[in-house]
Chain A
Amino acid sequence: MAVANSVVAPAAPLPPVLAALKDAVLVALVAMALTGPIVGLQTVDAGGRLTVDMRFTEVALGIVIVFFGRFGLALGERGLALPAYGVGALLMVAGFLLPWPAELLKVLAVAAGIALVVRGIAGQLKERRTQAVLRAPDEEDAKAERLRRLVTRGLGFAMLAAAVLLPMMPFANSYIMDTAIRVMTYMMLAWGLNIVVGLAGLLDLGYVAFYAVGAYTYSILSKDFGFGFWGALPIAGALAASFGILLGFPVLRLRGDYLAIVTLGFGEIIRIVLLNWTSFSGGPNGIGSIPRLTFFGYPFARRAPEGEVTFHQLFGLDFSPLHRAVFFFYLILVLALVVNFFTIRIRRLPVGRAWEALREDEIACRALGINPTNTKLTAFAIGAMFAGFAGSFFATTQSFVSPESFTFLESAMILAIVVLGGMGSQLGVALAAILIIGLTEAFRGLAEYRMLVFGLGMVMIMVWRPRGLLAHRDPTVLLHGRKSVLKKGAAA
């Protein structure tokens, strides 16, 4: 009896840290079994003969990363949020600082670290929210809501500060600045598309068409008509918006997948027209030597053209090609922020509210006196206008445009950012833009497998967070009662 008892009796539960450790060791063993043969063995072409080589360090390091990644996850799952953050931070720092033998390992370490931290934050927020729901609704809910808003706002400001300081960092070389400009351009486009898809709920697969309209408008206006950037910008925006309305009128009565297909077609039509209307758009050769943006009249050049002063002469600096990149970066930062603040503001206005309501229930909207067609058209036009602005910026930074820059892949990429960000969350979109563009950049070494990794990553993220990184929707009207209760209390 006693023997049977001792067998049946459950083993004393391990303390959480040990349990997490055990978990991590197990996973590391599995990783070893898998990566050993797959990654560890490498065929080498030795003078015409294939020999097998062992890649020992790589495998060992990979397993170490897996071990720490799993350890952090397991800690988080067991409610040890702080240690999990610690492991995440450790991985990130190690990823950046250690001399990794392979670029991929470095990326892996950093990505694992980021994932741990993001996951930790998300998990904590979720827990707070469920706790808040379980508790009495009013007071506590408002508290959790406030906390969540504080965290998002803090994160937002931290990111803004990081962006502003980035060009002043010692590591800000031209590669970093170019990548940062790319990230910001996509962020701006995604914020613009977010109005259409995230707020108004209209699935637009041809958003890149408006980007193209903006880019070509600027190119032609500046090259053939001598417009400056600031003069051409509003025209490009207005033209893109008109294209939005033009497309919107016939198609906005369509819904969901039909709308998606028609917008997809529209995107392709614009591209094909640009490809074939050679006299207008230069066809496949595109338009080159588009005037580059100057610093309010002072060009970024080593030597000034006759009778002009260059940027570096103006400020008495040594010439550096970085100046131009830094200026472009700040410019796109400002343009993107304009879109962001515009969206934050308009969500609280009747039009913005109507967009969101329309996304939830069109019939209800009509029953409340909202004109769905006009409401959708404004969303479409405003989204298109911002794409037009971004297009002008693109043309002036590249000084060259061609239909190749406006393929469906671009639309898909922008849409992926919006969806990943959480359809409607401004901060989510910003994070997603950094993540997606950053990752595609980091995996550049993988060449054509890049998109494979990218797709895999998207699938994994969508499994983990099916509604996007930050799916939370901020209410646009808050806490009316509090005020009136006070008023009533004072009156009584």
Chain B
Amino acid sequence: MTAPMLKIEGLRASYGAIEALKGVDVEIHEGEIVTLIGANGAGKSTLLMSMCGKPKPSAGRVIFEGRDITGMTTHHIMRLGIAQSPEGRRIFPRMTVLENLRMGAVVTDPAHFDQDLERAFTMFPRLKERQNQRGGTLSGGEQQMLAIARALMSRPRLLLLDEPSLGLAPIIVRQIFQVIREINAEQGMTVFLVEQNAFHALKLAHRAYVLAGGKVQMSGTSAELLGNEEVRAAYLEGGH
């Protein structure tokens, strides 16, 4: 097997005295969708942010495409081919949709902008309709579309998504997940997806990790985890 695109080894990170990550190992291969599920406060967002430099890992290594990126500053890492749609979307509320997308493209050659914009608008026609509307006045679903589209504007090879389904109606969640599937299938984009919505996430992803108390509790293919009794009891009860 080829070397993984992203390799996280024994990663530890703390907020002051609280250790949120206690030695996490994750591998992601090119072209995969990998999901990370876990309860509230398990450390999922922390893992995503820590591999991007903040909070700084206190131990362990992060290797991206063969390069050790542990401890680099976030803005530096985000220029290496990784893009992130952070928890809570964090679009710029006073800027228009178009400006938000422009901000997503700061690290790339401005010559691609028109082309990348067309691609984003084909992916999310809704954003095209709303292009001159201010981000803060978009609906939650539209904001999530914008957050993903904005992340893609930097032409990443690895896309990190933190809870894209947060607070969205099931039909919108399905739409968003469909787009993620298409990005992966058509553009070969590697996706690392953090989700609370375990059922949908496992349906979408190829492989999955379960995080609990800052440690990987379980990992395997999505099918394996979907069939696992423990996972069913802890994360799939209620059968979303």
Contacts and interface: CB of A to CB of B under 8 A. Distances in A.
Contacts of A363: 86, 90
A363 B95 CA distance: 16
Interface residues of A, number: 31
B19 to A, nearest CB: 21
B95 A475 contact: yes
B9 to A, nearest CB: 23
Interface in B38-93: 52, 54, 73-76, 78-79, 84, 86, 90-93
A477 B96 contact: yes
A370 interface: yes
Interface of A: 137-138, 141-142, 145, 350, 353-354, 356-357, 360-361, 363-372, 473, 475-481, 484
Nearest to A478: B132
Interface stretch (B22-30, B98-106, B176-184): B98-106
A353 B73 contact: no
Contacts of A357: 92, 95, 103
A481 B78 CA distance: 28
B154 A368 contact: yes
A356 to B, nearest CB: 7
Contacts of B94: 356, 360, 473
14 contacts: A145-B132, A354-B103, A356-B92, A356-B95, A367-B52, A367-B86, A368-B78, A368-B103, A368-B107, A368-B154, A369-B154, A475-B95, A476-B99, A484-B114
Contacts of B76: 371
Nearest to B147: A364
Contact of A369 (B79, B92, B93, B95): B79
B75 A480 contact: no
Interface of B: 52, 54, 73-76, 78-79, 84, 86, 90-96, 98-99, 102-104, 106-107, 114, 117-118, 121, 128-133, 150-151, 154
Contacts of A142: 132
B52 to A, nearest CB: 7
B68 to A, nearest CB: 19
A124 B112 CA distance: 40
B107 A477 contact: no
Contacts of A368: 78, 103-104, 106-107, 150, 154
Contacts of B98: 475, 477-478, 480
B133 A137 contact: yes
A369 B75 contact: yes
Nearest to B117: A480
B1 to A, nearest CB: 30
A365 B91 CA distance: 9
Given A367-B84, A372-B75, A477 B102 contact: yes
A255 B45 CA distance: 23
A371 B73 contact: yes
Contacts of B84: 367
A423 to B, nearest CB: 11
A477 B99 contact: yes
Contacts of A370: 75, 103, 106
B164 to A, nearest CB: 14
B99 A353 contact: yes
A350 B103 CA distance: 8
A475 B99 contact: yes
Contact of B106 (A369, A477, A480, A481): A369
Contact of B90 (A145, A361, A478): A361
A145 B132 CA distance: 10
Contacts of A354: 103, 106
Given A366-B74, A370-B75, A137 B130 contact: yes
Contacts of B117: 480, 484
Contact of B102 (A145, A353, A360, A366): A353
Question: Which 5 pairs, one residue from A and one from B, show the smallest C-beta to C-beta distance?
Answer: A369-B78, A364-B90, A369-B107, A360-B92, A366-B74
A366 B75 contact: yes
